[in-house]
A = this chain, B = another copy of it.
Amino acid sequence: MKENSKELIKVNKISTGIWKLTFGSPEKITPVGLRNSQYLIANIEKLICEDIIPIDKEDIKFKITNRGSIVELPLRDNEKIYGFGLQLKSFIQNGKKKNLRMNSDPVADTGDSHAPVPFYVTNSGYGILVDTSRYLTYYCGTHSKVSEFNEDVEKRSDTIAGNTTDLYAIKETNKQMNMVIEIPSVQGVDIYIFEGPSMKNAVQRYNLFSGGGCVPPLWGLGIWYRIFGNSNSEDAIKLTDLMRETKIPCDVFGFEPGWHSHSYSCSYKWDKTRFKNSQVMLDELNRMEYKVNLWEHVFVHPTSDIYEKMKKYSGDYEVWDGLVPDFSIAEARNIFSEYHKKEFVEKGVLGFKLDECDSSDYCPVPWSFPDYSSFPSGIDGEQMHSLLGVLYQQTILKAFEDKNIRTYSQVRSSHALAAPMPFVLYSDLYDHKDFIKGVVNMGFTGLLWSPEVRQCESTEDLIRRIQTVVFSPQALINCWMIKNPPWFQVDCDKNNRDEYMEGYEKVEEIIRKYFRIRMSLIPYLYSGFVKYHEEGIPPFRALVMDYPEDKNTFAIDDEYLMGDSILVAPLVAGENSRKVYLPEGNWYDFWTNAKIKGEAFYEIKAELDIIPLFIKEGTILPLAEPVDYITKDTVFKLNINCYGDKCEDFVLFEDDGYTYNFNEGDFNKIELSYNKDCGKSIKKVGEYSGTKYEIIDWIYIK
C-alpha cells in the first residue's frame, strides 16, 4: 500500500478558481478527456473569486490499496454537502455513503442513479469533481477513526431504541470526520477543485468548465406529449388533431418503441404496418407545428442498416441481441450520427428519447451489458455504463449541430460535465415527492430532470403532478401506457377502453390552465437558460444555492427556485396545505399578489387547482399571452409584471429560438428596468433582425 508520499499528488491550475490535483497515475479515459465541449474560459474569468485553492494541500491524503485508490479531504465544522447528480432519496449528503453506480430503478438511497455525477459542492463554497467513470464511493463524513476515550461519547448511552428507525438514525457527534472517496480498480485519479466564494459560484464554475449550460430551442419549453406505445399513424394524427381542437397547448409529440420495425433492440426504421407512409405523417405533424420526438435506445439490432458497419466499433456483449456501440470512438459516433441526420433530422424529426443507456442492477433480470464487457477503445463495461449516456447525447447532438438545428431531447442517463447537453432526464421510478426532490437536487451538478406525468392514481394525483411538471425543465406528459390523455380518464384500463371519467371537463380545464401558464412563462424560462449557458447558473435550483447564509434553507428539499425569481412549492396528492419557507426579503403570492414577509415558515393552504408560487420582491417577470404552440414566427405578447418599487433588471433573450446562430452573435438582449422613481425602461442591444417579443403592458404590483 502506497500512502501519501508527496510525489503522488501534483497540483495544476486550470483557470481562475479551478485546479486539477493529480494523485498517482490516473486512468486514460475519463469524463474530462471525453468532453466534447470547450470550457468557457472567458466566462469563468468573469466570475470573481480569491483564486486561492480552498483546501489546504497538507490536509489531503491519498492512498493506493488492493481495492483501488482513496482520497481523503477535510470537512469543516457544520459543512453541508450537496450533489452527486440525480439523487431522488436525499438532499444533504452528510453522514451518507454514496456508491455512484449507474443504474435504473434505484430503490434505496445508496447512490445508484440514472445520473450519478462524481461532483459535489458544499456550503463552504467549493466544489469537487472526481474525474472518473469508475463506480466510486463517497463516505460523506460517515466514520471516525479509533481514538482516545472521550467523556462526550459516554453520554450518549441512555435511551433504549424502541424501533429500527431510532436505532439506526444519525447521531450527532463531535468527532472529526472527513470526506473519504474510494475509487475502485485505479492506481490514481485527477480531482478538480472549483472555488466559490459561494456554493452557487462553485457550481457556475463547474458548469462553465463543462462548456456552459444548454439553450433549448423555444419550442422545447412548451408542452410535451408522448403517445400510446401501440399507436399507428392514424392514431397520431387523431390525437394531435384533438389537442389542437380542444385548445390544449402542445409543442412536442413523441413516439414510443412501436415506431421501430424492430425493438428491443432497435432497427431505427419505421414499422411499415403501423406507419405505412411515415413521411406523409411527419409532414402533416410538422405542418400542424408539432415537433416530432422519436424513442430509441442505443442497442443496434441486426436488421438495422448500421449493424454491419457498427460491429467492429462495439462491445463484446449484446443487449437484447443488439450491439453496444463504443461512442468513445469517433467512427462509431459518426456512423450513428450520420444515419440519424440523414434518416431523421433531414426528414423533419427534432428530437429523440434516448432510453436505457443506464444499467440494470435493480431489475429482476440484468438486461444491460455486463460490467466486465470489453469495448474496442479499451474501456470496460463499468466505465461504459458511466460514460454511455453523455457519449450518446453527444452523438445525437452532432446530427442536429451539423444541420444548425437545436434539439431539446430526453435521455435516461447522464454523468459528469453534462450541462451543455440539451437533454432532460426521466425515470421509471414514480414517487411524486422523490420526483420533486429530483428538481431540487439537479441544479447542483449540471443536470436537467423532468418529473414526468404518466399513470395517475386519481385526478388529484394527476393535477398535483401536472402542477409540478409544468414548473420543471420539461413539461412532459408520457402516455405510453394509455390511449387517451389522462385528463379524460386516469384509470389506465378504462382509458384504454375509451371510457371517459365523469366530470372530466373540469379536470381538463385545470390542466389547460396550467399548460397555458407554462406557455406564458417561456420567455422568462428562456432567459434563465441563457444564464445557464453564459454564467453557468442552473435554471432550476435549491433555495440553499441562492441563500447559503440562511440556515433555514439548508435542508429544504421540497421547494425550489425556477430562474432567479419564482419560488415553487409543489403539493402531492393527499395534501391540501404544506409548510413553505420564504427566505429573506418580501415575496408575492403569484395568485393573489399578496405581499408576504420572508425569513419565515408558513403553512400554506392550496386548493387542488393551486400550486403555491411566490415571486421575489424586486422581480420583473415577463408573462406572455399563452399560445397553443410555438412556430418560427411566434411573437410573444408580453405583460411585464413589476413586483415592488425597485426592481432588478430583467434581460430578455431574443434570437431565432431555433438555430445555433446565437453562437455567432445573432441575438438581442432586451433589458427591462423599473423603479418607482425613475419609471420603466427598455434597452435593446444586439444584431438579431427578427422580433420575438412585443410588450403589451406593464403591471405594477405593490
- Which residues does A use to contact B, with CB under 8 Å? 65-68, 70, 90, 95-97, 99, 107-110, 137, 139, 142-147, 149-150, 153-154, 156-157, 160-164, 167-171, 180, 182, 184-186, 229-230, 256-258, 261-264, 302-303, 307, 311, 314-318, 320-321, 323, 360-367, 369-372, 380, 382, 428, 481
Contacts and interface: CB of A to CB of B under 8 A. Distances in A.
Contacts of A150: 302
Contact of A481 (B109, B110, B162): B162
Contacts of A366: 96-97, 139, 142-143
Contacts of A96: 364-366
B380 A65 contact: yes
A536 to B, nearest CB: 32
Nearest to A323: B146
A370 B139 contact: yes
Contact of A164 (B169, B369, B370, B428): B428
B185 A67 contact: yes
A265 to B, nearest CB: 10
A156 to B, nearest CB: 8
A184 B184 contact: yes
A169 B366 CA distance: 10
B180 A370 contact: yes
9 contacts: A109-B364, A137-B371, A139-B370, A143-B370, A144-B318, A146-B323, A162-B481, A164-B428, A168-B363
A640 to B, nearest CB: 45
B317 A382 contact: no
B67 A382 contact: yes
A354 to B, nearest CB: 16
A73 to B, nearest CB: 14
Contacts of A316: 145-146
Closest 6 CB pairs of A and B: A97-B366, A149-B302, A160-B258, A157-B262, A153-B321, A170-B365
A606 to B, nearest CB: 29
A167 to B, nearest CB: 8
B67 A318 contact: no
Contacts of A481: 162-163
A318 B144 CA distance: 6
Contacts of A321: 153, 156
Nearest to A140: B366
A537 to B, nearest CB: 31
Contacts of A65: 372, 380
Contacts of A361: 97, 99, 110
> Which residue of A90, A107, A323, A365 has the most chain B CB atoms within 10 A of its CB atom?
A365
B149 A67 contact: no
Nearest to A106: B108
A71 to B, nearest CB: 11
Given A65-B372, A149-B307, A162-B229, 17 more contacts: A66-B185, A67-B184, A96-B366, A97-B361, A97-B366, A142-B370, A146-B316, A146-B317, A146-B318, A150-B302, A156-B321, A157-B262, A157-B263, A168-B363, A168-B364, A170-B365, A185-B185
Given A146-B316, A316-B145, A372-B182, A303 B154 contact: yes
B302 A153 contact: yes
Contacts of A149: 302, 307
B371 A67 contact: yes
> Which residue of A361, A382, A428 has the most chain B CB atoms within 10 A of its CB atom?
A361
A81 to B, nearest CB: 14
Contact of A110 (B142, B318, B362): B362
A380 B68 CA distance: 12
A110 to B, nearest CB: 6
Contacts of A147: 318
B145 A318 contact: yes
A316 to B, nearest CB: 6
Contact of A365 (B162, B168, B256, B362): B168
Contacts of A97: 361, 366, 370
Nearest to A151: B302
Contacts of A162: 229-230, 481
A263 B314 CA distance: 55
A160 B99 contact: no
Contacts of A311: 146
A75 to B, nearest CB: 15
A289 to B, nearest CB: 28
